[in-house]
Structure 1
Amino acid sequence: MWANENRRLQYKIFGDVVTCETTYRTNLYNMPFGLFVGVNNHFQSIIFAGVLVVDETEESFMWAFSEFLRMMVGVAPRTVLIDQNKAMELALNSIMPNTAHRWCKWPVLKKAKKTLGPLYSKKSDFSLEFHKVGNSMLTVDEFEEGWRMLLEKDKLQTHPYMTRLFEAGRSGRSHISKGRPVIKAR
């Protein structure tokens, strides 16, 4: 893992929300490469730190998050955006228990497109309703009613991916917000 003094200064100023993503073995060393990224006051992405890990296990992520905190003098971000990586979720719960972590919307939608196939196309009613439920519902009751209607209309009550998304929400871990929407993972 590495970060320099300039990256630590940037983190001190802009480190409230951090995205942590790994690319899967796309580098010369065939190892997952991770970046801790934020956004500055000009809406530009800024890299706080980079890390090569042996694998994407809970233990590797625990080490990576611990090292990140050490490099950032023990100051945890308020929110970490992640994909739907369970090992990363568990490591964050352990290392940064007071930090909210949320699922980035982009991987959620990418996986929805992959798992739902033609049902989730740009021109489908399902896609429009799915986005409406995710982006426009203001209360828990509105969300749950919209979700129920969405599943009933397309007979998706037992679809594994849709069930997982809903269960994340039922356990208090789900949230899609406006702007750069995310689904909360905690």
Structure 2
Amino acid sequence: MFVDQLARKHLANSGFYFDYVLDDKGRLVHVFWADATCRKNYALFGELVSFDSTYSTNQYNMIFTPFTGINHHKASVCFGAVMLHDEKADSYKWLFRTFLKAMGGSAPRFIITEECSSMDNAIREVFPAATHRLCMWHIMNKIPQKVGPDLNTDEDFHERLGRCVWSFETPTEFEERWKEIMSEYGLEDDDWFSKRFSLRESWIPAYFKEIALSGLMRTTSRSESANFFLTYYRLQTCFG
């Protein structure tokens, strides 16, 4: 029924693009769609793309993922959406290739995602020329889960770490302050913080001040807002 509804949308407007994959039992595995407005938005504003796959929906546990950008009024615009059965690299490769096909072969210059190795591998293969950065909000939002209860309630720790991440202009300043904080709070040997430091060039602004990312690096809340919209109005709203 869902695919039939997409097919009716395409018949009504040839600018509506969709593609899907079925398994050997005829069950829907992946489905992507973008209407004419989404595709026009991408043609105009598609250099920067926020891609967030942290939202699961419905009884089938499929992952809903919007492609979101920012227009010349700094407002969020949708480039398309997908439902995926899983988060394996092959699934993301199918999605990104389908997205490219829908957008006439034009890849984004910059793409912002949450941290995910299978997604990273797919981006490297399908969008090899794109600059890939990690969402700072997702990383910072995990900190309360990664520290003990005492440190989690330490306002000075959170304030100092926040200033370290957001405020420094050069990599040297960031690295010196990060190491100072890790030492002072006994986090030098913490695996999670060590891994985030090793990935610093992918999410700390001091390493890419020259790249204009229109605020997308701070958060994929652009994508989160799309998730909220579709939660509130339900997916049927998108299809008339």
Normalising by structure 2, what TM-score?
Answer: 0.70
Shift in CA distance, 120/15, structure 1 to aligned 2, threshold 3 Å: farther
Task: Look at both structures and tell me which one has the larger radius of gyration over its CA atoms.
Answer: 2
Question: 2:42, 2:79 within 8 Å by CA — same for their partners in 1?
Answer: yes
Deviation by residue 1:47-90 (Cα, 9 ceiling, x = unmatched): 11111112001110011111111111111111111011111111
- Which residue is equivalent to 1:173? 202
Q: Is the 8 A contact 1:175 1:182 kept in 2?
A: no
What is the deviation of 1:174?
4.0
Higher helix fraction (1 or 2):
2
Percent of residue pairs identical: 32
Structure 2 spans left out of the alignment, 5+ residues: 1-31, 210-214, 220-240
What residue is the counterpart of 1:131 in the other structure?
A: 162
Matched residues, number: 180
Q: Deviations over 1:134-182 (max 9, x none)?
A: 111111211110111010110100111111110112xx43423684544
- C-alpha RMSD over aligned residues: 1.9
2:64 alignment partner in structure 1: 33
Tell me if 1:81 matches 2:81.
no
1:15 touches 1:77 (CA, 8 Å); kept in 2?
yes
TM-score by length of 1: 0.88
Q: 2:134 aligns with which of 103, 109, 112?
A: 103
Q: Secondary structure at the match of 2:176?
A: helix
Q: Helix, strand or coil for the counterpart of 1:51?
A: strand
- Match for residue 179 of structure 2? 148
CA gap of 1:60–1:48, structure 2 versus 1, over 3 A, is same
Unaligned runs of 5+ in 1: none
How far, CA to CA, are the matches of 1:166 and 1:18 in structure 2? 24
CA separation in 2, counterparts of 1:68 and 1:36? 9
| Secondary structure in 2 matching 1:41 | coil
- What SS does the corresponding residue of 1:36 show, helix, strand or coil? strand
| Counterpart amino acid of residue 162 in structure 2 | H
